[in-house]
Amino acid sequence: MHKYINIIGESSPPFQVHLLGGKGQKLTELSWLKYNIPSGFIILTSCFKTFLKENPKLELFIKNYFTQNKLDEPSAIEKASKTIRSQFLDYKIPKLVTYDIIDYFDKLNTDFVSVRSSATLEDGTKNSFAGQFESYLNVKRESLLDYIKLCWSSLFTARSIAYRLHNNLSLYQVEMAVVIQTMIDSDLSGVAFTKHPVTNNKNQIVIDVVYGLGEALVSGEVTPSSYIINKNTLNVITKDIVVQHKKFVRNKNGSKNIWAEIKSEENNLPKLDERMLLEIAKVGKDLENIEGVPCDIEWAISSNMLYILQCRPITH
């Protein structure tokens, strides 16, 4: 493992969460287990530490802000988040680290990547931090370094600060890795729960799916089609097929995501055929067995290829 970089698929156990963060640790493990993960690399927490060490004014500013200001109101937390996060882009990532990051980006041979947060406290069985840190899509080479800093700064989103206060966790002794991956131009995206998320039935797998990119599902802009699978037999129990009138896709030059109208003939076809539905259900069942707990799995399909984007324990 490089001092600052870990190539997804080129390392073996142990996969250390204090270096890779929660998301990075899980993706590295899944790749080692031969699941299909988008190619990429992980900027280790040691890089974040070096960034702060080389920019001591920023680190001191963060510590002083939390010790000198009361955070007893939502407005105070929002102000803290905005004030601290605004500082990050003013500081530079050390040159040696920058060279390595750009070098590994070039080796991906792609124009666009996703830049995803991977905090050390993220995606655990006790504290999931789900949705509290930020990730960015369609990032190009020339803006990569700024988006990495934005990921680091998302340690201090208002939601994350409030969550740490509520759970008596440190406000500034936290670390973040960053996952850089080739963008997948998804035909279908979704999530699989290996325990029914509403009834808590442990014998059922629930698979939600939308056309296009998964942001349509995460944002709530689109109601997904939903399948309930018997975990033991892998037979389909129910199908709730929803007609989807729009989908979130990359524009023609790939620079951003846009809403596109879905043609009526596309809605006359099943979103997931039986083969792919069974494959997703099997992956969910296998990952639950590996993790030892029910899981929430994000996936995407592009050109009939299933990609696993994330796997985390279901927490409440």
Taking the C-alpha atoms of residue 229 and residue 227, their distance in angstroms, rounded to an integer, is 6
Residues 51 and 124 in one domain: yes
Average pLDDT over residues 221-248: 92
Q: When comparing pLDDT for 132 and 42, which is higher?
A: 42
- Is 137 found in the same domain as 195? no
Q: Are residues 91 and 154 in the same domain?
A: yes
**Same structural domain, 34 and 119:** yes
Is there a single domain that holds both residue 167 and residue 247?
Answer: no
Q: What pLDDT is attached to residue 217?
A: 87
Percent of the chain with pLDDT over 70: 95
Domain match, 148 and 17 both: yes
Candidate from 36-50, 103-117, 189-203, 206-220 with smallest mean pLDDT: 206-220
Quote the strand ranges of the chain, DSSP E: 5-7, 40-43, 113-119, 135-139, 176-182, 188-193, 204-211, 225-230, 236-240, 246-250, 257-261, 295-302, 305-313
Question: Do 121 and 207 have their domain in common?
Answer: no
Residue 130: per-residue pLDDT? 53
The residue among 138, 165, 182 that closes a domain is 182
Residue ending a domain, among 117, 148, 182, is: 182
Helical ranges in 250-294 per DSSP H: 264-267, 274-291
Q: Are residue 64 and residue 206 in the same domain, yes or no? A: no
With 90 as the cut, is the pLDDT of residue 271 above it?
no
144 has a pLDDT exceeding 90: yes
- 228 and 143 together in one domain: no
Question: What is the residue range of 28's domain?
Answer: 5-182
Q: Do residue 202 and residue 81 come from a single domain?
A: no
Domain CATH for 296: 3.30.470.20
Is residue 275 scored above 70 in pLDDT? Answer: yes
Co-location of 151 and 53 in the same domain: yes
> How many domains, the chain?
2
Query: Does residue 306 share a domain with residue 160?
Result: no
